[in-house]
Amino acid sequence: MADTDTRDDPGDETAPLFSAKITPHRSLAPSGARLVLVLCCLAAVGSSIPFIVLGAWPVAGFLGLDLVALAIAFKASFRSAKGFEEVVLTPLELLFRKVTHRGERSERRFNPLWTRLDREHDEDYGLMALALVSRGERVVIARELSPPERADFADAFGDALARAKRGL
């Protein structure tokens, strides 16, 4: 998901022409994950009772292991959702900042006049990749977006980059 902001007033040289924060999409909120885990626990308990009565008690343990694996997968998914990418374009500078889910930060600064937005299209799936290219350096951006979201982002960012190059 990308939260974008553009400005039309060219008065301030340090004010952003374009600003976006790209975060990974998660279709299930933490409260929904808890609900799924509770329902799976109830299903596992209900399914394991007949096996315990018949003397096949190890089945209940394996169902419990499945629940532990599901909880670990949810935790890992929500932890990875803490990372983000940030793109800020001013008339003088293009800043690309990436923060991983571990909190590791990396920043790249580009001159907007020497930077172009490279688009990789697939005729079946749409816009598959975006990259900032400047003086032989290529940085892939907006990896977390779906192809339609990436196309909308590319259009808005491409327009802002063109305005920066024209000096508007």
**Co-location of 98 and 145 in the same domain:** yes
Containing structural domain, residue 61: 30-80
Segment 59-116, tens digit of pLDDT? 999 999 999 999 999 998 888 888 899 999 999 999 999 998 898 999 999 999 999 9
Nearest by Cα to 85 from 39, 23, 133, 41: 23
**Co-location of 149 and 109 in the same domain:** yes
Nearest by Cα to 134 from 160, 158, 114, 164: 114
How many distinct structural domains can be found in the chain? 2
Asked whether the whole model's pTM tops 0.75, one would answer: no
**Co-location of 76 and 87 in the same domain:** no
**Co-location of 110 and 159 in the same domain:** yes
